[in-house]
Structures are given as structure tokens and as C-alpha cells.
A = this chain, B = another copy of it.
Amino acid sequence: MARNCRFAVAVHIITVLATHRDTPATSDWIAGSVNTNPVVVRRILSALAKAGLVQSQRGIAGGSALAKEPGAISLLDIYRAVDEQEAQAMHHQPPNPNCPVGAHIVPVLTEILRCAEDAKQQELAKRNVGDVVAAIRHRIAAE
């Protein structure tokens, strides 16, 4: 259970909200579509709300709704809202500073990983929630 699926679940949640814009969706109802626990959904909704992507309301007619148009929410917005951790990390222990390689490799590697992560994020920035909804509608129509 250790692999990170927050991004997948977050996109799922936002896509559900984008296809039910008439009425706020409860975490319980969303959890039924994602097939997980409502608290997991609420945790991710909380992160998305902090990023300004969704709005939630408590109470008897409460629930969550998009705070922006689907076309104005990129997948990078979602990624940054929920996936703060780097995939590849630096050494656990700092390398030996008396070795020429050990003394200088960390900033070199950090810069390389930053470029690689940037490329990934730029690819995510090319797509928005409207595109995901359209892709799903296309698949439904093709059935």
C-alpha cells in the first residue's frame, strides 16, 4: 500500500466534480466512484481547496464543487496541490566531502533532477481537466 496514488485520486475527484456541476458532491458519494474511504477523499479535497481548485461547504446540503472552470485547472495545478514529495531523492547521508566527487556531486545532481522534474511538470501543464472530461466522454461514445 506504499505507492503514491494521490494524483490519480485527485484527478478522479476533480473530474467527478467537473461532470456534476449542478449540485455539490459529498465526500461519501465521491468515495463511491473512486472506491475508497470518504476520509481519503476529504483529505485530498482539503489539499485541493488549499490550492484554490475546489470549494467545500459543511452542513446538511454541503459538499464540494469546482472553484474554477474545468478548462482553467491544469493537471499541473492538481499535481502541485497533492504531490509535494520528489520522486528521486538525494543521498540519505551527505557524501564524503574529502572525495572530490562526494564534495561536489550533490548540487550537480540536484540541478539535473530539477530539470527532469520540470520537463514532467511542463507535460502535465499542457493538459487541463476539460481535456480529461473530453477524453472520458470520447471513450464513452466509443463503447
Is there a chain B Cβ closer than 8 Å to A42's Cβ?
no
In the complex the two chains form, what is the Cα distance from A75 to B116 in whole Å?
A: 11
Copies in the complex: 2
**Chain B nearest CB: distance from A83 CB in Å?**
7
Within 8 Å by CB of A34, from B7, B32, B96, B136, lies B96
- Across-interface contacts of A117 in B (CB, < 8 A): 120
Q: Tell me the interface secondary structure of chain A in the complex.
A: helix
Q: Is the CB–CB distance between B8 and A88 below 8 Å?
A: yes
Is residue A104 within 8 Å, beta carbon to beta carbon, of the partner chain? yes
A contacts, CB < 8 Å to B: 1-5, 7-9, 11-12, 15-16, 19, 32-36, 75, 83, 85-96, 99-105, 107-109, 112-113, 115-124, 127, 132, 135-136, 139-140
